[in-house]
A and B are shown apart, each in its own frame.
Chain A
Amino acid sequence: MRKPFSMKTRHYLEGYAFTLPWLIGFLLFMAVPLGKSLYYAFQSLEVKTEGLKATYVGLENFRRAFTVDVDFTPKLIETVASLLIQVPLILIFAMFSALLLNRNFRGRMLFRGIFFLPVIIASGSVLTKLREDGAATLPIFAQYDLATRLTDIIPVQILLPLLKALDSLTVSMWDSGVQILIFLAGLQSISVQLYEAAKVDGATPWESFWKITFPMITPMILVNTLFSIVNSFTKPGNGVMEYMQTVVFQNLQFGYGSALGWIYFIIAFAVIGLVLTLFRNSLKGRG
């Protein structure tokens, strides 16, 4: 019998044995690259035959991103704006779909299968191709000349953004497969007895949604919000992401590319931090 360690130490050691591989990976593939990219962000890197030559330029790269570079700022604003529009849309839509699918009805499995289909199709180059071909918008608006007819009733200044939002609706819906599943799993975990008790007490479906369903799936809303934000920041076809790749691999401006990466990272974190504070307050308010 070997018993060189106390129970507690052994527990610790076993815990480390399971999780240490991740930590090593974190150092290799996340911490070191992240530190290096922060270092590069303050350098101007030149590709020479003997390797990279770094010269310290201070905040020059960051200044350039916002003042000199005419491409970056609009792309960044566009990305953040589309995120602010799309994430709430995705959440509402995913919740609605999950509620629809959660009821007992014939063909439930089939519909679930269909609702999750976009996860397979609507990403990568396929989505890009569909979008280029105009398939990412529903044809009703373009087909029956609806847009031009509507201009008679609604002024163009309001109509165009509205139509644009409607167009992006399709893409938001295709983006919500995972979120629907998460909500669905959350809804399944709510006990039926709660609803029955509420029904006996005379609650309307509307009331039981707001008093039971909604509070019970608040954690899932948080999970889904975070997932949607991260997804939106990293999804293909995102202007900033494509631009960064061009800067780095076509223009070979490694220092500038790193600075852009860090700006993007800070903004992503600011958005996530904002969401977390909002959620913490609302969770506290509910007690």
Chain B
Amino acid sequence: MQVSDKPAGARLQRLELSRKRALTMAPAVKRQSRTFFSVLFHYVMLYSLSFVFLYPMLYLISKSLMQSSDLTDAAVQWIPKELSFDNFQYAYIDLKYMGAFVNSVVTSLVPAIIQIFSCAVIGYGFARYRFPGYSIMLGLVLFTFLVPPQTIIVPLYMFFSDLNWINTYFPFIVPPVLGHGLRGALFVLIFLQFFRGLPHQLEEAARIDGAGAFRTFWSVMLPLARSAMLVVFLFSLVWHWNDLFQPNLFTMLSDKFNLMQNLAVMDGQGEQEMQQGLGTLTVNMVGLAPTFANRVMAGSLITILPMLLLYLFTQRYFVESVERAGLAGD
């Protein structure tokens, strides 16, 4: 679409503009009222759906600022009576935040970075080369994407335990190196789609200049794939960060737990405290008992906070990249 620097492009754009103007200005009053209602409908839908999407976020923030008395107070809906940050302090200690944070970073940032490169290499291979066995291998990629990881948990666990990899970071790092790991097949497919969309002339030019296959890929094609790389990186990072299945499978020692695992454990303690402290509850008081939901919500909030911050800064590029990366397929 970037043709505006050429005179022909500019003329085309002007033409398009005048055509659009002609289309929007000519119609009678009847159509105008219809547009008004459609715009109104559009915004009503947008705002109401946005509320649904923001609801968990608002809920987390509101609950995490409440004190236990606010939770049981029927008069308090969203705005706590008194601001307190005790919940965060409690959650910070209970989640063993610093250690768990480091574990989370290692088990999500490192695989995400590795997956960008390994899946790009593999996706490129599938996009640009036809070799004997090509369709079988591509079929296997699709197959891998569809197999529920639960099917192979037993042998995979035994395999890693034979290698003495349980409670180490290796199970999170080695499969991504070979283009596997969490949703590796999907990322291969994203790169495959992206590279297919690029013109062949780019590589031909590089080849004529004497670059080898890998050099062509590394210094010509990969830099062009920035938008696909960003998409894969963010998806991979967020999914690894939120994943509970793999960490629960491969880490048994609590000092190796990441934030999601500690958060999953956290609530149990609150419930225990509740039962110990309030052993004399009657049935109809259950709904009123302090479940430490405020602490749990504060914990949830600080668990996803790094992802939220990252999303805040990259969101703009991210949504654009998805459009450019041709995620939608052919």
A174 surroundings in chain B (CB, below 8 A) = 53, 56
Chain A contact residues: helix, strand, loop or mixed: helix
Closest CB in chain B relative to A234 CB, distance in Å = 5
Beta-carbon contacts under 8 Å, A235-267 to B: 236, 240-241, 244-245, 248, 254, 257-258, 261-262, 264-265
B155 and A32 within 8 A (CB): yes
Judged by a CB distance under 8 angstroms, whether B300 is at the interface is yes
A120 surroundings in chain B (CB, below 8 A) = 238, 242, 304, 307-308, 311
Beta-carbon contacts under 8 Å, B286-313 to A: 291, 293, 296-297, 299-300, 303-304, 307-308, 311
Q: What total of chain A residues lie within 8 Å of the partner, measured CB to CB?
A: 91
Residue of B nearest to A132 (CB): B267
Please encode chain B, from 104 to 148, with 1 for each CB lying within 8 Å of some chain A CB and 0 for all others. 000000000000001001101110111110100100110011111
Q: Which of B264, B307, B325 sits near A128, CB closer than 8 Å?
A: B264
B326 surroundings in chain A (CB, below 8 A) = 185, 189
B178 surroundings in chain A (CB, below 8 A) = 21-22, 24-25, 28-29
B153 and A257 within 8 A (CB): yes
B327 surroundings in chain A (CB, below 8 A) = 181-182, 185
Judged by a CB distance under 8 angstroms, whether B45 is at the interface is yes
Closest CB in chain B relative to A42 CB, distance in Å = 13
Q: Which of A103, A181, A272 sits near B319, CB closer than 8 Å?
A: A181
A220 and B55 within 8 A (CB): no
Most chain B Cβ neighbours within 10 Å, of A15, A261, A264, A272: A15
Q: Which of B59, B264, B308, B315 sits near A130, CB closer than 8 Å?
A: B59
Closest CB in chain A relative to B157 CB, distance in Å = 8
B263 and A19 within 8 A (CB): no
Residue of A nearest to B62 (CB): A135
A103 surroundings in chain B (CB, below 8 A) = 42
Judged by a CB distance under 8 angstroms, whether A125 is at the interface is yes
B63 surroundings in chain A (CB, below 8 A) = 133, 135
Q: What total of chain B residues lie within 8 Å of the partner, measured CB to CB?
A: 97
* Given known A113-B315, A185-B327, contact A138–B52 (CB-CB < 8 A): yes
How far is B155's CA from A111's CA once the two chains are assembled, in angstroms? Answer: 44
Q: Which of B57, B177, B180, B328 sits near A185, CB closer than 8 Å?
A: B328
* Given known A12-B132, A37-B152, A261-B151, contact A126–B319 (CB-CB < 8 A): no
B131 and A15 within 8 A (CB): yes
Closest CB in chain B relative to A281 CB, distance in Å = 20
Residue of A nearest to B243 (CB): A124
A219 and B175 within 8 A (CB): no
Judged by a CB distance under 8 angstroms, whether B260 is at the interface is yes
A173 surroundings in chain B (CB, below 8 A) = 49, 52-53
B300 and A129 within 8 A (CB): yes
A230 and B145 within 8 A (CB): yes
* Given known A32-B155, A196-B19, contact A233–B148 (CB-CB < 8 A): yes
How far is B328's CA from A184's CA once the two chains are assembled, in angstroms? Answer: 8
B150 and A241 within 8 A (CB): yes
B132 surroundings in chain A (CB, below 8 A) = 12
Q: Which of A23, A220, A223, A233 sits near B137, CB closer than 8 Å?
A: A23
Residue of B nearest to A18 (CB): B125
Q: Which of B53, B180, B263 sits near A118, CB closer than 8 Å?
A: B53
A105 and B137 within 8 A (CB): no
B151 and A262 within 8 A (CB): yes
B145 and A258 within 8 A (CB): no
* Given known A32-B155, A219-B329, contact A117–B57 (CB-CB < 8 A): yes
Judged by a CB distance under 8 angstroms, whether B29 is at the interface is no
* Given known A22-B122, A100-B49, A113-B319, contact A34–B152 (CB-CB < 8 A): yes
B56 and A122 within 8 A (CB): yes
Residue of B nearest to A23 (CB): B137
Closest CB in chain B relative to A173 CB, distance in Å = 6
Judged by a CB distance under 8 angstroms, whether A170 is at the interface is yes
A16 and B175 within 8 A (CB): no
A186 surroundings in chain B (CB, below 8 A) = 328
B150 surroundings in chain A (CB, below 8 A) = 234, 240-241, 244-245, 261, 264-265
Q: Shortest 4 CB-CB distances between A and B: which pairs?
A: A18-B125, A25-B178, A15-B129, A124-B242
- Chain B interface residues (CB < 8 Å from chain A): 19, 23, 39, 42-43, 45-46, 49-50, 52-57, 59-60, 63, 118, 121-122, 124-126, 128-132, 134, 137, 140-141, 144-159, 175, 177-180, 184, 188, 213-214, 217, 235, 238-239, 241-245, 248-249, 260-261, 263-264, 267, 291, 293, 296-297, 299-300, 303-304, 307-308, 311, 315-316, 318-319, 322-323, 325-330
| New A-B pairs, 13, CB < 8 Å, besides A18-B125, A33-B152, A261-B154 | A18-B129, A105-B46, A111-B46, A116-B318, A118-B53, A133-B297, A135-B55, A135-B60, A173-B53, A185-B328, A248-B157, A264-B151, A268-B146
- Chain A interface residues (CB < 8 Å from chain B): 11-12, 14-19, 21-26, 28-30, 32-34, 36-37, 40, 52, 97, 100, 103, 105, 109, 111-126, 128-130, 132-133, 135-136, 138, 170, 173-174, 178, 181-186, 188-189, 196, 199, 217, 219-220, 223, 226, 230, 233-234, 236, 240-241, 244-245, 248, 254, 257-258, 261-262, 264-265, 268-269, 272
List 30 A-B residue pairs with CB atoms under 8 Å apart, sorted by A's residue number.
Answer: A12-B129, A18-B124, A21-B179, A22-B141, A33-B156, A34-B151, A34-B152, A37-B155, A105-B42, A105-B43, A109-B316, A121-B56, A125-B264, A125-B300, A125-B303, A126-B304, A128-B264, A130-B59, A133-B63, A135-B55, A178-B235, A183-B328, A184-B319, A184-B322, A219-B329, A234-B150, A234-B245, A240-B150, A258-B155, A262-B151
